[in-house]
């Protein structure tokens, strides 16, 4: 598997443009942008996700991942705890929580 984040971001940008009211589509795009180190663009997608879908476990996982990638482990764990408080069955939040400790 190749990690072609620029290509993924381009394709996901087209998908989000076609369905801008689908909050769940912003999540993979923001993750791809984070992996490209495009923090400003990722933050814009996160804000759009909040505007479109409100608070969700996926949003807090994304914020945690972004905080961790920026070297802020404490904030990352706090966001993951927020995700788990909304839905304790979200496996990705548990995975990252263990990874970030």
The pLDDT value recorded for residue 2 is: 61
Q: Give the DSSP per-residue string, 22-59.
A: -GGGHHHHHHHHHHTT-HHHHHHHHHHHHHHH-S-HHH
Question: Strand, coil or helix: what is 73?
Answer: helix
CATH number of 5-100: 1.25.40.10
21: tokens are 């009211």
d(C-alpha 30, C-alpha 94), whole Å: 20
pLDDT at 1: 44
What is the pLDDT at residue 45? 92
Query: What's the maximum distance between 2 C-alpha atoms anywhere in the chain?
Result: 38
Q: Is the dihedral of CA 6, 10, 15, 16 positive or negative?
A: positive
- Each of the 101 residues of the chain gets a pLDDT tens digit; together they read 468 999 999 999 999 999 999 988 998 999 899 889 898 999 899 889 889 988 899 889 988 988 898 889 999 999 999 999 999 999 999 999 898 88
């Amino acid at each position: 598997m190749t990690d072609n984040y620029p290509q993924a971001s381009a394709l996901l940008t087209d998908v989000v443009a076609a369905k801008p009211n689908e909050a769940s589509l912003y999540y993979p795009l923001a993750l791809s942008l984070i992996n490209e180190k495009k923090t400003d663009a990722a933050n814009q997608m996160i804000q759009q996700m909040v505007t479109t879908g409100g608070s969700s476990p996926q949003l807090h996982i994304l914020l945690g991942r972004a905080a961790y990638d920026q070297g802020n482990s404490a904030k990352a764990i706090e966001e993951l705890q927020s995700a788990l408080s909304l839905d304790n069955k979200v496996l990705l939040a548990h995975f990252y929580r263990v990874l970030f400790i």
